[in-house]
């Protein structure tokens, strides 16, 4: 895809057809939603929306990557999640009509469709089944946040890192994106780079993982599950 060109709304329409909460909607309704949307390209390290802002758009990330984070008064970050190409985000902010609970920042150049609240509300009011799907999606995100809070309060940094590797692995390999440095990973895990470096060395020394500039390889999945405090079912 040529990222320098402005994509047509028909490309967004094609993606809208695949969204769970819009499944079953008439083509005319989806076309209206696509037509009302705007396209914007954000450079790396750009703020898409700030915590405490009132944002009136739902976002669809066509390409690029973002992080959603909370910041403390002393400047520390807790990354709540990473947004990848193909994801929609800000359902809570756009539907609750309240200040955003977090900040979204691009990690690389990112092309984003901005779907306005008024167009989305028209769809949801006219199609209750779509509204129910949105509620289910928001419930899933609440469960994710509860799990994150539990991990941060109850698990060690080593356990959190091991769990993240197991979740992110395609097979036994995790591709290290060019923005995935120690600082970003540490923020995701609720720690600092020095502590994460020590944990990484310990897992490597134990023969559980192997790291290079492009990849992290899981060498002992069972051992990593033990470090992640994950119990096998059955």
Write the pLDDT tens digit of every residue in 62-103: 999 999 998 877 777 888 888 989 988 887 777 777 788 889
Q: Could you tell me which residues come within 8 angstroms of residue 89 by beta carbon, excluding any fewer than 6 positions away?
A: 58, 59, 61, 66, 68, 83, 104
Give the containing element (helix H, strand E) for 96: helix 91-96
pLDDT score for 62: 94
Please indicate, yes or no, whether residues 160 and 144 belong to a single structural domain of this protein: no
Please indicate, yes or no, whether residues 44 and 149 belong to a single structural domain of this protein: yes
Evaluate whether 115 touches 19 at the Cβ level (below 8 Å): no
Evaluate whether 70 touches 100 at the Cβ level (below 8 Å): no
Please indicate, yes or no, whether residues 102 and 177 belong to a single structural domain of this protein: no
| Count of the separate structural domains present in the chain | 2
Q: Is residue 2 part of a domain?
A: no
Q: Is residue 133 part of a domain?
A: yes
pLDDT score for 233: 54
Which of these three, 136, 153, 170, is where a domain ends? 153
pLDDT score for 180: 65
Q: Is residue 169 part of a domain?
A: yes
DSSP state, residue 232: P
Q: Is residue 233 part of a domain?
A: no
pLDDT score for 234: 46
Give the containing element (helix H, strand E) for 57: strand 57-63
Which of these three, 124, 153, 182, is where a domain ends? 153
Which residues partner with 84 through β-bridges? 65
Please indicate, yes or no, whether residues 147 and 60 belong to a single structural domain of this protein: yes
Please indicate, yes or no, whether residues 165 and 52 belong to a single structural domain of this protein: no
What phi-psi label fits residue 71: left (phi over 0), alpha (psi between -120 and 50 degrees) or beta? beta
Please indicate, yes or no, whether residues 109 and 29 belong to a single structural domain of this protein: yes
Q: Is residue 206 part of a domain?
A: yes
Please indicate, yes or no, whether residues 172 and 101 belong to a single structural domain of this protein: no
CA distance 48 to 8: 21
pLDDT score for 42: 97
Looking up residue 103, the CATH number of its domain turns out to be 2.60.120.10
Please indicate, yes or no, whether residues 64 and 164 belong to a single structural domain of this protein: no
Please indicate, yes or no, whether residues 32 and 143 belong to a single structural domain of this protein: yes
Please indicate, yes or no, whether residues 114 and 160 belong to a single structural domain of this protein: no
Alpha-carbon distance values, 99 to 51, 55, 90, 151 (Å): 7, 7, 11, 26
Which of these three, 135, 153, 171, is where a domain ends? 153
Tokens 């758009």 correspond to what residue? 57
pTM: 0.73
What are the residue ranges in the chain where pLDDT is below 50? 234
Q: Is residue 234 part of a domain?
A: no
The range of the structural domain enclosing residue 48 comes to: 9-153
Evaluate whether 103 touches 53 at the Cβ level (below 8 Å): no
Q: Is residue 46 part of a domain?
A: yes
Please indicate, yes or no, whether residues 51 and 141 belong to a single structural domain of this protein: yes
In this structure, what are the phi and psi dihedrals at residue 82, rounded to the nearest 5 degrees? Answer: -105, 140
pLDDT score for 2: 54
Q: What is the largest CA-CA distance in the chain?
A: 58
Q: Is 68 exposed, middle or buried (0-12, 13-18, 19+ CB in 10 A)?
A: buried
Please indicate, yes or no, whether residues 83 and 160 belong to a single structural domain of this protein: no
DSSP state, residue 191: S
Buried b (16+ CB within 10 A) or exposed e, 174-197: beeeeebeeebbbbbbbbeeebbe
Looking up residue 210, the CATH number of its domain turns out to be 1.10.10.10
Alpha-carbon distance values, 53 to 4, 114, 117 (Å): 29, 16, 15
Q: Is residue 171 part of a domain?
A: yes
Query: For 24, what's the count of Cα atoms within 13 Å in the CB-facing half-sphere?
Result: 11
């Amino acid at each position: 895809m040529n990222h320098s060109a402005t994509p047509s709304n028909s490309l967004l329409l094609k993606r809208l057809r695949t969204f769970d909460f819009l499944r079953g909607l008439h083509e005319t309704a989806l076309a209206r939603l696509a037509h009302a949307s705007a396209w914007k390209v954000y450079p790396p390290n750009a703020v898409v929306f700030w915590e405490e802002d009132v944002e009136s758009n739902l976002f669809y990330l066509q390409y690029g990557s973002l992080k959603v984070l909370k910041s403390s008064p002393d400047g520390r970050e807790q990354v709540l999640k990473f947004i990848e190409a193909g994801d929609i985000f800000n359902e809570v902010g756009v539907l609750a009509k309240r200040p955003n609970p977090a900040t979204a920042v691009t990690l690389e150049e990112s092309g984003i469709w901005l779907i306005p609240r008024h167009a989305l509300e028209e769809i949801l009011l006219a199609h209750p089944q779509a509204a129910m799907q949105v509620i289910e999606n928001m419930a899933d995100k609440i469960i994710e946040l509860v799990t994150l809070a539990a991990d941060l309060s109850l698990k060690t940094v080593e356990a959190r890192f091991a769990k993240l590797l197991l979740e992110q692995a395609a097979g036994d390999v995790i591709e290290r994106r060019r923005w995935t440095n120690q600082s970003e990973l540490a923020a995701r895990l609720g720690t600092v780079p020095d502590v994460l470096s020590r944990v990484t060395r310990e897992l490597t020394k134990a023969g559980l993982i192997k790291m290079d500039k492009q990849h992290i390889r899981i060498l002992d999945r069972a051992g990593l599950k033990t470090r992640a405090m994950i119990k096998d079912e059955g």
